[in-house]
Amino acid sequence: MKHRLLSLFFISSNVVALEPVTLQLKWVHQFQFAGYYLAKHKGFYREVGLDVSIVPAQKHNPDEQFKVLSGQAQFGVTHSGILEQRLLGKPLVALAAIFQSSPYCWMVRADSDIYLPKDFHNKKISHLGRSEGAELVLMLERAGINVTKLPIYSGLEPLADFKAGKFDALQVYISNEPYKMSQQGIATRQICPKHYGINVYADILFTSEDVYKYRPEMVAKFRSASLRGWRYALANLDEALQVTKYYASEKSFEELANEADKLLPFIKAPGIPLGNMSAARWQWIAQLYHLDATKFHDHKNTFLYSNDGDVEINWSWMLFLAIVLSLLCIPMYIHLVLFKKKRFMIN
């Protein structure tokens, strides 16, 4: 009886169809997204009933927020500008901040006279929007630089023109462009917001309000499995690089190892759990970006993920396990009682 119940339980578990889910990245495949690759490769998504497709962005149109809001993907990875978009009315929900600090920096040549944010006075910089990389503008403004009066580079070949000295500072992702310059023999240094106390969240896992509202259990499962993948990746870097290479096939192991080395300080923060977000930190970010404080308070409860759903899921699984154990134990208990009774009568 016991073996039959166990067989039925495992057979029914295996035949349950996996739910297809799409994760839209904010850029092309690279170590920046290693945790998601590991969650898929190690079967963490499958264990919670999800069949996850990881879709890279198009370099010239990396609109991950649109892809999620339009239903083309259920989840995405985006920048801290998600907060401003939420306050503007877009129904976006932040689930976890994989990076506790932004890896966007200004790159200048090693022979440049730019060492600090205040040195950007009258320097020619690459074009910047205020949605992604807004912390770079903010860093300069806090140093007294009027960014609107700086000459702006608007060419089509930024790396080549930077190498040629046609402008002074280029917005970069710390693990990408500096490495490419070093491979071409150009020494550079980076001036990063993190080093000047501007620690805004980055690479934020997010979903739409509809998905969060109507599929809370699926959201909780995806979030939990993704964070599990990231924890595994950080604890097993060699394997993480091997798996990432499968996705980022055009990159060398040396390049991916450099990415890992440069990005780890932005992911790990002393005393802060992986993926952690706080309303207080988001409020501080809103103040940094000069966003409406009243709007932030109006939206924060629907903008930030709550783990109440995780508790409900854990309890539901505990209840299910208790029922299964009861079904297994009752026949065993009856058999034991009858056996003892029969033995007593014989004696």
Any domain includes 336: no
User: Contact at 8 Å (CB) between 188 and 115?
Assistant: no
Q: Kindly state whether residues 222 and 262 are assigned to the same domain.
A: yes
Q: Kindly state whether residues 96 and 226 are assigned to the same domain.
A: yes
Q: What is the mean pLDDT of the chain?
A: 88
Any domain includes 344: no
307 vs 275, higher pLDDT: 275
Q: Kindly state whether residues 214 and 301 are assigned to the same domain.
A: yes
Alpha helix ranges (H) inside 116-215: 134-142, 158-163, 177-183, 209-214
Any domain includes 7: no
- Each residue of 156-204: pLDDT tens digit? 999 999 999 999 999 999 999 999 999 999 999 999 999 999 999 999 9
Q: Kindly state whether residues 74 and 162 are assigned to the same domain.
A: no
CA-to-CA distance for 5 and 160, rounded, in angstroms?
67
Q: Kindly state whether residues 83 and 108 are assigned to the same domain.
A: no
Q: What is the pLDDT of residue 92?
A: 98
Q: What is the pLDDT of residue 171?
A: 95
Q: Kindly state whether residues 93 and 209 are assigned to the same domain.
A: yes
Q: What is the pLDDT of residue 312?
A: 39
Q: What is the pLDDT of residue 59?
A: 86
Neighbours of 82 (CB within 10 A): 23
Q: What is the pLDDT of residue 13?
A: 46
Q: Average pLDDT for residues 123-134, to the nearest whole number?
A: 79
Comparing 53-62, 121-130, 252-261, 267-276, which segment has the lowest mean pLDDT? 121-130
Domain count, the chain: 2
Q: What is the torsion angle, in degrees rounded to the nearest 10, for the CA atoms of residue 203, residue 205, residue 208 and residue 211? A: 170
Neighbours of 79 (CB within 10 A): 23
Q: Kindly state whether residues 32 and 93 are assigned to the same domain.
A: yes
Any domain includes 211: yes
Q: What is the pLDDT of residue 25?
A: 98
Q: Average pLDDT for residues 283-311, to the nearest whole number?
A: 86
Any domain includes 40: yes
- The residues, any chain, with a CB within 8 Å of residue 4's CB and separated by 6 or more, are none
Q: What is the pTM of this model?
A: 0.83
Q: Give residue 340's pLDDT band: very low, low, confident or very high (50, 70, 90).
A: low
- Asked whether residue 307 carries a pLDDT value surpassing 90, the answer given is no
Q: Kindly state whether residues 86 and 205 are assigned to the same domain.
A: yes
- Each residue of 9-31: pLDDT tens digit? 444 444 469 999 999 999 999 99
Any domain includes 151: yes
Q: Kindly state whether residues 62 and 207 are assigned to the same domain.
A: yes
For residue 135, the enclosing domain spans 104-196
- Asked whether residue 314 carries a pLDDT value surpassing 70, the answer given is no
Tokens of 110: 């090693």
- Please state the φ and ψ torsions of residue 143, each to the nearest 5 degrees: -90, 5
Any domain includes 314: no
Q: Kindly state whether residues 123 and 95 are assigned to the same domain.
A: no
Q: Give residue 328's pLDDT band: very low, low, confident or very high (50, 70, 90).
A: low
Q: What is the pLDDT of residue 331?
A: 57
Q: What is the pLDDT of residue 316?
A: 44
- Each residue of 63-80: pLDDT tens digit? 999 999 999 999 999 999
CATH number, domain of 180, equals: 3.40.190.10
- Each residue of 207-235: pLDDT tens digit? 999 999 999 999 999 999 999 999 999 99
Q: What is the pLDDT of residue 336?
A: 53
Residue at which a domain ends, from 196, 229, 254: 196
| 3-class secondary structure, 129 | coil
Any domain includes 11: no
